[in-house]
Amino acid sequence: LNANPQKTIYVHQTCATDTNQVQMILDSVISMVIQTNLHKSGLY
């Protein structure tokens, strides 16, 4: 499944009609993206 072993894959099983669960996953993804970008830029 992971063609690039240097990249991490996160799996989330959810139901798209459960908006609270989907929102939690999206918030987690946004947080990971921000942290990665801050780390790469040397700010974190």
Q: Looking at residue 30, what is its pLDDT?
A: 96
Q: Which residues, 6 or more positions from 44, have their beta carbon under 8 angstroms from its beta carbon?
A: 35, 38
Q: What is the pLDDT of residue 14?
A: 83
Q: Look at residue 7 in the predicted model and tell me its pLDDT.
A: 87
Question: Which residues, 6+ apart, have CB-to-CB distance to 7 below 8 Å?
Answer: none
Instruction: Tell me how far apart the alpha carbons of residues 1 and 34 are, in angstroms, rounded to a whole number.
Output: 25
Residue 13: count other Cβ atoms within 10 Å of its Cβ.
Answer: 6
pLDDT of residue 37: 96
Q: What is the pTM of this model?
A: 0.69
Query: Domain range for residue 9?
Result: 1-44
pLDDT tens for 1-44 read 789 999 888 887 888 899 999 899 999 999 999 999 999 999 97
Q: How many domains does the chain have?
A: 1
